[in-house]
Amino acid sequence: MGRTGTTRRRALAVTGALAAGGALGACTGDRPGAAPSAAAERAARAEAALRRRSAAASAALLARYDAVLAAHASLAPRLGPLRAAVAAHVAALGPVGAPPPPGAATTPPAPPAPSASTAPEPPARAGVPASPGPAAPSAVPADPGAAVADLAAVTRRTADAHAAALMDAPPEYARLLASVAAAGATHAYLLTAQGPLS
């Protein structure tokens, strides 16, 4: 009988110690949880900065499209769909919930349609909203073929920048950057592979 009582007391003592240890372990386990949240905040800030840089790179490309279209309105049927894709890239790459950069919020132009213009402009420029950016129309080559070749080079550099940013991007955003970089490489090919301009 005595032995049984001792065994019960020991069992209760061991169980109590284990329960207390588990509670202490749970308390101390919560403490390291603070470090991941600080790390998560740093990661979120880094991703937001990367998103801003990537969106700005595509916004600069979008401004270049607008500059070329302003100088060579006859290129609108050829460049319009590519310009629309770049505008979508700007919106997709930016920080979640942030307004798009100036000039990127406008609806991408369809192939020239006079009714698409919201301001009185010459018919050839109808539906081609201008985006402020580093490339002013005066910087665009006077020859349409040279202007498209220059646009292809800017497109290729932008695609390369997005590809380089993959190394610093979290997985989900890296997939988006990879898609945009691949689209940019395709655009650069299309801009140089369509033969001479008429």
Domain count across the chain: 1
Task: State the DSSP string of 103-145.
Answer: TTSSPPPPS--GGG-SS---GGGTT-----SS--GGGS-SSHH
Range with the largest mean pLDDT of 64-68, 105-109, 131-135: 64-68
CA distance 93 to 59: 10
The band of 186, judged by pLDDT with boundaries at 50, 70 and 90, is very high
177 in any annotated domain: yes
Give the predicted TM-score (pTM) of the model: 0.64
In a domain, 96, yes or no: yes
- Looking at the domain assignment, is residue 146 inside a domain? yes
Residue 133 lies in a domain: yes
Residue 25 has pLDDT above 90, yes or no: no
Q: How far apart are CA 41 and CA 137, in angstroms?
A: 42
Range of the domain at 154: 44-193
Residue 59 lies in a domain: yes
Task: Report if residue 13 sits inside a domain.
Answer: no
Residue 68 maps to a domain: yes
Among 165, 160, 185, 184, smallest CA distance to 175 is for: 165
Q: Is residue 169 part of a domain?
A: yes
